[in-house]
Each structure stands twice: as C-alpha cells, then as structure tokens.
Amino acid sequence: MKRLLITASLAASAALPTAVNAQALPAAVVAVVDLDKVTSSCNACKTAAAALRAQATALQNRQQTLSTPLQTEGKSLQTAVDALNGKEPDAALKTRIQAFQSKEQQAGQELQTQKEQLQRNQQYIQKQVVDKLGPIYTQVMQRRGANIMVEIGQTLASGATLDVTNDVLAALNSALPSIQTTAPATAKPQGR
C-alpha cells in the first residue's frame, strides 16, 4: 500500500507543474481585411498610383526619344561598315562608331538610373502605406474586439461580419491624406 501511495504521489507531482504552467488560451476572435482593396482604394493610394503611372509613361517616352535617333544612326553606321566589304574603316568612321557607342552607353545609363528611381519611388510609396497600416490594424482589432487579423486572400472562407476592410480603409484615409511619390535621394558610397 505504501508503495502504491508513493507511486501515485510521484505521478501527481510530475503532472502538477504541467497543469500549473498550462493556461487556457482565449477564444480566437478573427477579423479579415482585403488588403488589395485597401491599398487600391485609399485616396492617397489612388493619387500615388496615378503619379507612378505618369512616371512610368515619362520613362517610356524618354526611352523612345533616346532610341529613335540611335537606331537611325546605328543603321547608317552599319551601312557604312557593310560598304567596306571587310576592309578596315577609316579614322573618320572609327570616330563616328566610337561616338555612337558612347551615346548608346550614356542613354543606357540614363534609362537605368530612371528605372531604378521609379523602383525606389514604388518601394517608398509602399513603405509609407505599410508604416501607417500597422497601428491601424491594432486600433481596428481593439475597436472590433478581435485578437487576430488575417488577409482575406489567405482564408478559404469567412463570414461577412468578420470583414473589417471598410474600417481599415477609413482609418487609412484619415491617417494618410497624402503620399510622397518621389523617394529621397540615396547616398552614394564615397571612394577612398
């Protein structure tokens, strides 16, 4: 009997810490938000998207402006080289070819710089929106009594009463009246 009591006592003492440490989790109260709708429908987001489209169009126009004369000049140079029938070009033609290559390289560098700026602008816009959304999620969750928020695209199904998209959108419109569409200049590394 004494042995049975000791065994039972050991078993109870081993289970005790687990029971004390385990706490019941609160019931999940889930809210869902359509982030695509929020980021495409907010007033500042629409304005920023229009500005980005204008920047992209300007880049395409600049690319066309640079490429048209380069194509014409390239064809002219190719015709001159073809007319030589494999002979070495004279100094004037070599100078024209080098000048053309230099213009082509400068145009490529200019376009690359503008593409990079456009990408930085897009990332800067996204960062401004994301920075505002974090606190908004918390506020909406507290106001609606939710303890978890999920993007609607990550769910299989949800009830309409769980959708807080309009709450998040209204709060974002209030918190973010405008968005800067040009990223600050990046510091270039200094040489040694």
- pLDDT tens for 14-47 read 555 555 456 788 888 899 999 999 999 999 999 9
pLDDT of residue 7: 47
**Does the pLDDT value for residue 131 go beyond 60?**
yes
What's residue 113's pLDDT? 94
| The pLDDT of residue 86 | 86
- pLDDT band, residue 173 (cuts 50/70/90): very high
pLDDT of 172 above 60:
yes
Least Cα distance to 52 among 68, 38, 40 occurs for 40
Higher pLDDT, 100 or 4: 100
Asked if residues 32 and 168 have their Cβ atoms less than 8 Å apart, the reply is: no
Residue predicted with more confidence, 35 or 10: 35
Q: What is the pTM of this model?
A: 0.75
Residue that the structure tokens 């209204």 belong to: 170
Q: Average model confidence (pLDDT) for the chain?
A: 87
The size of the chain, in residues, is 192
Q: Decide if pLDDT at 151 tops 80.
A: yes
d(CA 177, CA 94): 57
In sign, the C-alpha dihedral spanning 95, 79, 110, 65 is positive
Query: String of b and e for 134-158 (b: at least 16 CB within 10 Å)?
Result: eebbeebbeeeebeebeebeeeeee
Provide the percentage of residues in the chain whose pLDDT is more than 90.
Answer: 68
Q: Sorting pLDDT into bands at 50, 70 and 90, what band is 159?
A: confident
Please give the Cα distance from 67 to 100 (Å, whole number). Answer: 12
39-94: pLDDT as tens digits: 999 999 999 999 999 999 999 999 999 999 999 999 999 998 888 888 898 999 88
Residue 8 binned pLDDT confidence (cut-offs 50, 70, 90): very low
Where in the chain are the domains?
29-175
**pLDDT for position 5:** 41
**How many C-beta atoms lie closer than 10 Å to residue 36's C-beta?**
12
Per cent of the chain over pLDDT 70 is 85
Residue 143 dihedral angles phi and psi, to the nearest 5°: -65, -35
Apex 41 CA angle, 39 and 42, nearest 5: 75
> At residue 76, what is the residue type?
S
